[in-house]
């Protein structure tokens, strides 16, 4: 095997391990977020408040864009988070 290929494969393997670890952290954080969403939902139900708060969702998206260090574009980050918010709003 070519030395360059071996070095590249080794680096790729290391990066993939980092990605796997980040994916696990993302999943843990999403589940923690979901627990908090459920607690908020329960409080809203008890107080007869609407579950969906479009103003709050817009605040979240704006804050993410303002604090986005890249390399994801603000729009890409917002699109990913729109999906997160959709699933958080609609899971049971």
Q: What is the pLDDT of residue 92?
A: 62
Give the residue from 80, 67, 71, 74 showing the smallest Cα distance to 26.
80
Q: What is the pLDDT of residue 34?
A: 96
Share of the chain above pLDDT 70, in %: 98
Query: Alpha-carbon distance 37 to 68, whole Å?
Result: 23
Query: Alpha-carbon distance 22 to 49, whole Å?
Result: 35
Q: What is the pLDDT of residues 8-42, one digit of tens each?
A: 999 999 999 999 999 999 999 999 999 999 999 99
pLDDT(60) > 90: yes
pLDDT(73) > 80: yes
- Per the prediction, the chain carries an average pLDDT of 95
Angle among Cα 49, 55, 56 to the nearest 5 degrees reads 75
CB 65 within 8 A of CB 77: yes
Q: What is the pLDDT of residue 91?
A: 77
């Amino acid at each position: 095997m070519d030395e360059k290929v071996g070095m590249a494969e080794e680096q790729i393997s290391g990066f993939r391990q980092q990605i796997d670890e980040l994916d696990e952290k993302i999943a843990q954080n999403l589940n923690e977020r979901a627990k908090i969403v459920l607690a908020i939902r329960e409080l809203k139900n008890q107080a007869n408040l609407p579950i969906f708060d479009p103003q709050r969702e817009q605040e979240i998206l704006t804050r993410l864009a303002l604090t986005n260090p890249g390399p994801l574009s603000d729009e890409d980050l917002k699109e990913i988070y729109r999906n997160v918010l959709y699933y958080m709003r609609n899971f049971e």
